[in-house]
Amino acid sequence: MDMDRFTQQIPNLVGAGVQAVVENANRLGLTWILRLATVGGSTNGPSTMATYDGDTVPIAVTNMTGFSLPPGGRVYVLIIPPSGNFIVGFAGEMQQLSRGQVDWVASTVSSAAIGAEAVVLTGNSITWAAGRAYEVINNPYATGDTASSSVVFRIRKTNLAGTDLHDSVVTNSPNIGNGTSGLLRRIIRNNTSADVTANIVLTMNAAVGTAIDNGGALSVRYLETRDIGAAADYSDAAQI
């Protein structure tokens, strides 16, 4: 089996480490086989147990995916005698594991005083993969010039005029100049069959008067986007 055929069978799952193993095997004239297996025990490290389809006895395999593997997970295993058995990709629902952070923007500088809605942070343009869900997190610390006024933070697609994806209301302290801080989390998904390339923005507006989204060396304002799994698991989430 050559490398082209291998990458066609498990697209987008082959990392540089796996390619190096295969290339070394090819160079040394070693035979290698790709088989399906079931994980026999969870692991966060490189070593685990798996049972090949058609077999009943689990064997030790090396996990090269970089993910924790839950028991019962279906995986592709690359067999290279005499080097060993290497998990190189997921099959079925294993592909629904979270993939971690995909974007991060931050500022240590406070926003301007804002009344009408304005952008306070702009995310980078990223690929929102087809069938995936994302968690968008930011940490507002809003102070206003009007006691008990509310401040609305929104996630919009592209810019201030873009689609409103999520609203979050923060109520200021009863005392002018004191603020309310917290952690706001929203779920946005791409529940289509095509990738979407876009950025998001964080906006803010004050219901009365003006407000500031405060930043500093020890109170960094940020907007983080994380891949958290399958879009189908978040049926009520906004569509990017």
Q: Give me the sign of the Cα torsion angle 101, 194, 233, 75.
A: negative
Average pLDDT value for the chain = 81
- Residues of the chain above pLDDT 70, percent: 76
Least confident of 62-76, 151-165, 223-237: 62-76
Tell me what the mean pLDDT of segment 95-109 comes to: 84
- Identify the CATH number of the domain in which residue 153 sits: 2.60.120.760
Asked if the peptide bond before residue 82 counts as cis, ω within 30 degrees of 0, the response is yes
Indicate whether 88 pLDDT > 50. yes
SS3 19: helix
pLDDT given for residue 95 in this prediction: 54
117 and 217 assigned to the same domain: yes
How many domains are contained in the chain? 2
Q: Is the pTM of this model over 0.85?
A: no
Asked which of 23-32, 115-124, 133-142, 169-178 is least confident by mean pLDDT, the reply is 169-178
- Pick from 66-70, 159-163, 234-238 the range whose average pLDDT is largest: 159-163
Return phi, psi of residue 7, to 5°: -70, -25
Chain-centre distance of CA 118, in angstroms? Answer: 26
* Beta carbons of 32 and 25 less than 8 angstroms apart: yes
Q: 20 and 72 share a domain? A: yes
Residue 60 predicted with pLDDT over 50: yes
Q: Which residues contact 196 (CB under 8 A, 6 or more apart)?
A: 127, 128, 130, 190, 240
Please indicate, yes or no, if residue 82 is contained in any of the structural domains.
Answer: yes
Structural domain span for residue 35 = 3-96
CB 114 within 8 A of CB 78: no
From 71-80, 94-103, 118-127, 143-152, the region with the lowest mean pLDDT: 94-103
From 96, 113, 146, give the residue that closes a domain.
96
Question: Could you tell me the sign of the dihedral formed by the alpha carbons of 192, 195, 198, 203, in that order?
Answer: positive
- Are 200 and 106 members of one domain? yes
Does the pLDDT of residue 192 top 60, yes or no? Answer: yes
The C-alpha atoms of residue 65 and residue 78 are separated, in whole angstroms, by 12
CB 134 within 8 A of CB 155: no
Most confident of 19-23, 45-49, 169-173, 227-231: 227-231
